[in-house]
Amino acid sequence: MDAPTKFTPNKMERLFTRLANAFPLWVVVGAVLALIEPRTATWFQPTWIPFFLGLIMLSMGLTLTLKDFLRILELPRAVFIGVGLQYGVMPGLGFFLAHWFDLPPDFMIGLVLVACCPGGTASNVVCFIARLNVALSVTLTTCSTLLAVIVTPLLTTWLVSAISESLTGRAIEVDTLGLLINTFKVVVLPVTAGVVINHFFHRQVAKITPYTPLLAVLSIVFIVDFILAVKKDAILQSGGPLLMAIVILHTCGFTLGYLLSRLMGRPDADARTISVEVGMQNSGLATELARTNFSAFGLATVPGAISALTHCILGSVVAGISRRLPVEKGDAGSVKAQASPE
């Protein structure tokens, strides 16, 4: 009798990569289960969210080297356009949609946080699946994530105060310093730790990085499903306008990210990559910032959970379309997609 076939490391790595690339499926399936049977997600504890979000950021840092940061110097225009659209288009859309749908304070705060957060690591996976410029995607995610320490708290403070004052005549006070500190702890510390570990222990890190994307994907799924399960009643009762606002936010992010990049002279491959970066936010970060900084607004975490589900679905659609539409000839992008997805 033949001995059972054993997985070689290469086969195992390919398996984990395929499982990670199927992240939209895991998010959707988990969300459906969380809403139908909340007990499938309520085993997760809210105090675990910072740990799992830190795990996502750490896994991102483990894939980065000093060369990734030097790539900013190689692609200054593409990076400037991508990050500029990230923090220009999305916060502007969030401000407009919160007004347009006249969202209650909890949902308004959550929507603004989503709009003001950096690009998510899931965007790198989508760019990989779509055969786009993964190197540019990783660079944009890195830059927007590091800038988030300053930009996200300041934009959130300004927009939340402005919207609340115009809708109710009274501005909601935002603890800007608290947002800054929490963003630093959740984003910069684990990313920096990952970069340092990768620099000094690169050989050992190389053996585990094929498996970290799946851990990051599962972390996102756990956080999203927990919020959906706990806030199920609120979502079903008043989530209609919020859902529409979030769908429009991300759809316009993808669309404007591409169109504006093209208008600014970026090649087709780069514009598609920037589109994905702009359209997909770090919704897990938005959820954690809402939980720790706006505890008086208990439903402020809901938009982040719905956002994660929405942009994963839209991102998978964009990836499918992009794979079927060839990049314009002579327009392959400024850097070949050689980097691995997060």
111-153 per-position pLDDT tens digit: 999 999 998 777 877 887 777 887 788 888 888 888 888 999 9
pLDDT higher than threshold 60 for residue 13:
yes
Contact 114, 307 (CB under 8 A): yes
Contacts of 51 (CB under 8 A, 6+ apart): none
The whole-number pLDDT of residue 245 equals 94
37 three-class SS: coil
pLDDT higher than threshold 60 for residue 8:
no
> Any idea what the Cα angle at residue 23 is, between residues 22 and 24, rounded to 5°?
95
Q: List the domains of the chain with CATH numbers.
A: 50-324 (1.20.1530.20)
Q: Which among 130, 147, 153, 111 is positioned nearest to 300, based on CA atoms?
A: 111
Q: Comparing 64-68, 93-97, 119-123, which segment has the lowest mean pLDDT?
A: 64-68
pLDDT band for 276, please (50, 70, 90 cuts).
very high
CA distance 197 to 65: 10
- Residue whose structure tokens are 């400024």: 334
pLDDT higher than threshold 80 for residue 10:
no
Q: Which of 30-39, 230-239, 240-249, 310-319 has the highest mean pLDDT?
A: 240-249
**Token representation of residue 298:** 């208990």
The whole-number pLDDT of residue 139 equals 84
Q: What is the mean pLDDT of residues 197-201?
A: 88
**Token representation of residue 65:** 């080297």
Phi-psi region of 65 (alpha: psi -120 to 50; beta: other; left: phi over 0): beta
In order, the DSSP letters of 209-276 are: TTTHHHHHHHHHHHHHHHHHHHTHHHHHHHHHHHHHHHHHHHHHHHHHHHHHHHHTT--HHHHHHHHH
CA distance 252 to 255: 5
Tell me the pLDDT of the chain averaged across its residues: 82
pLDDT higher than threshold 60 for residue 333:
no
Amino acid at 265: G
pTM over 0.95: no
Q: What is the mean pLDDT of residues 210-232?
A: 83
CA distance 280 to 233: 26
Contact 84, 252 (CB under 8 A): no
**Token representation of residue 323:** 């794979």
Q: Which among 127, 125, 148 is positioned nearest to 60, based on CA atoms?
A: 125
Contacts of 60 (CB under 8 A, 6+ apart): 121, 141, 142, 145, 191, 194, 216, 342
pLDDT higher than threshold 80 for residue 236:
no
CA distance 252 to 25: 23
pLDDT higher than threshold 70 for residue 329:
no
For 15-50, the pLDDT digits (tens) are 887 887 777 788 788 888 988 888 888 898 888 888
Q: What is the mean pLDDT of residues 313-317?
A: 84
The whole-number pLDDT of residue 120 equals 78
